[in-house]
Structure 1
């Protein structure tokens, strides 16, 4: 039934913006164990080869994380679990997590980040300390992503500045140049293309050449997005949502990322050396809602694996 619905939508859908279609090629998406449980089969929703990040929220047992990774890998998708430094007790715990993911789910890639916890549980405070252990290289991980913050980070620079953020990026760039693993910057979501473009250009000016996988919030109720944006410290682009909230005609309509993606896609088309390589979706309105939007707006880049297989 799901495939028939997708085909029906495809037959009646509006024309696809070819620039958005190009930008969405190889997009990734984020899930949590509890949200993944709501999906019967990811192949009905996601294109073949879609990288699926698994967010590790404070309090989630590692057993649930590994079980989710194993399930998604069995459905044919590359899995990238989060390793939040501040909730990992010590090096032995880190080694155990790596061994479990690798041994039980075949994981060979990871997103390393500090994690949104004010006080570390144990020995680690930053993603850089995780890298310094050498455990990911020892395990033969092929890809490591690290966090990027187009609008700054209160966790790294509590005063609202950018000095520590840039210092951390320079360190990560140096690490990138010393490791065999493929690396990229996976960013916090934003709602306005202008600060994203400015930040990406500043990366190049600072000698940061890691490709960017830009965070984009998927379709969701406006109130939901504002709540998450405030909680995650989204900066100037939050004004896009606040302005929308003041428009009574749009207040009750769900937000869709069409405008910000169209602006980024147009900029990339006009500047082929633009260093945003991929889109990474935060499905704040639900995985199915996000995947459906990609199917309807992404053209060939959004076709789910099951539909491709059937065709």
Structure 2
């Protein structure tokens, strides 16, 4: 028991769920997003998805509301979701009029582009970014790889995106896809810090939800190798029916990070709803502090 207590203690281990935890919402959820300051303080980042087929005006309004409420909106900009370059520039300019300072630049879910924009680098390099209000650029990371992109291609793309950020005067940050293997995620984050010193890393964690829903979203998002660890946790009827939380995964990540590791932040994907995940987070922090 003493050893277990030491592993769960925030000191001397890194504290993944201290200040800087962010969460991801669909734009339609912004109007009802009213967490307590204890669970999710003002000034925290709220990422807003860019869903294919949804009006981009919804994202603009959601970002405006969140900023007005004291949060930091981080809208997703998916290159392959834009049918025209004008659609992209209009969205950037709309967010800029509202004073949005951060965005996540990604290729998007379709493997092939229906419009002229292919990947996140195309967005970052566009001249409209230089005239925008954006000061921070998030780019995507994949701890266990990408089902359709080779590791070499991923590494080259990340190098290019961070170089463009520096060239454009943007502060780059990496936010990852979620996974379920703590040791692998810690090793991936530390490798990023070695290759890109000073670039913050935000590790994706699936929030509180059922095992079946987690597996469903993992398959949809291309999460593969670490899915076996999640399935093993569901052995037995009670475990299958009970909601899963990222507590054990957080402990595993922190245990595999050196005590002097640069700060790594948690980014929550609340598949079971933001209320459930943030309520769990508040309780988890309280238990760790006891």
Q: Deviations over 1:148-195 (max 9, x none)?
A: 00011124x1xxx41211111121232243232211111000111121
Matched, 1:272 2:260: yes
Deviation at 1:129, TM superposition (A): 0.6
Query: What residue in structure 2 maps to residue 8 of structure 1?
Result: none
Where 1:245 maps in the other structure, the secondary structure is coil
Deviation at 1:37, TM superposition (A): 4.1
Structure 1 runs of 4+ with >4 Å offset: none
Structure 2: give runs of 5+ residues left out of the alignment.
1-7
Q: Deviations over 1:26-71 (max 9, x none)?
A: 11101012333443x2456521211011011111101111111111
Query: What residue in structure 2 maps to residue 138 of structure 1?
Result: 131
- The answer (yes or no) to whether the contact 1:86–1:126 under 8 Å persists in 2 is yes
TM-score w.r.t. the length of structure 2 is 0.88
Query: What residue in structure 2 maps to residue 6 of structure 1?
Result: none
Query: What residue in structure 1 maps to residue 70 of structure 2?
Result: 76
Query: What residue in structure 2 maps to residue 13 of structure 1?
Result: none
Which runs of structure 2 are paired with 1:207-246 in the superposition (5 Å)?
A: 207-209=195-197, 210-246=199-235
Taking the aligned partners of 2:240 and 2:9, their CA distance within structure 1 comes to: 25
Taking the aligned partners of 1:101 and 1:176, their CA distance within structure 2 comes to: 18
Where 1:280 maps in the other structure, the secondary structure is strand
Query: What residue in structure 2 maps to residue 294 of structure 1?
Result: 281
Query: What residue in structure 2 maps to residue 5 of structure 1?
Result: none
Query: What residue in structure 1 maps to residue 120 of structure 2?
Result: 127
- The answer (yes or no) to whether the contact 2:14–2:259 under 8 Å persists in 1 is no
- The answer (yes or no) to whether the contact 2:208–2:246 under 8 Å persists in 1 is yes
Taking the aligned partners of 1:301 and 1:61, their CA distance within structure 2 comes to: 42
Query: What residue in structure 1 maps to residue 3 of structure 2?
Result: none
Q: Deviations over 1:13-34 (max 9, x none)?
A: xxx8435893212111010123
Query: What residue in structure 2 maps to residue 253 of structure 1?
Result: 242
Q: CA RMSD in A?
A: 2.3
Taking the aligned partners of 1:149 and 1:82, their CA distance within structure 2 comes to: 16
Pair 300,72 (structure 1): closer, same or farther in 2 beyond 3 Å = farther
Q: Deviations over 1:204-226 (max 9, x none)?
A: 45x23322111111110000000
Q: Deviations over 1:80-135 (max 9, x none)?
A: 100000011233221110111121x3211100001111332311110011111132
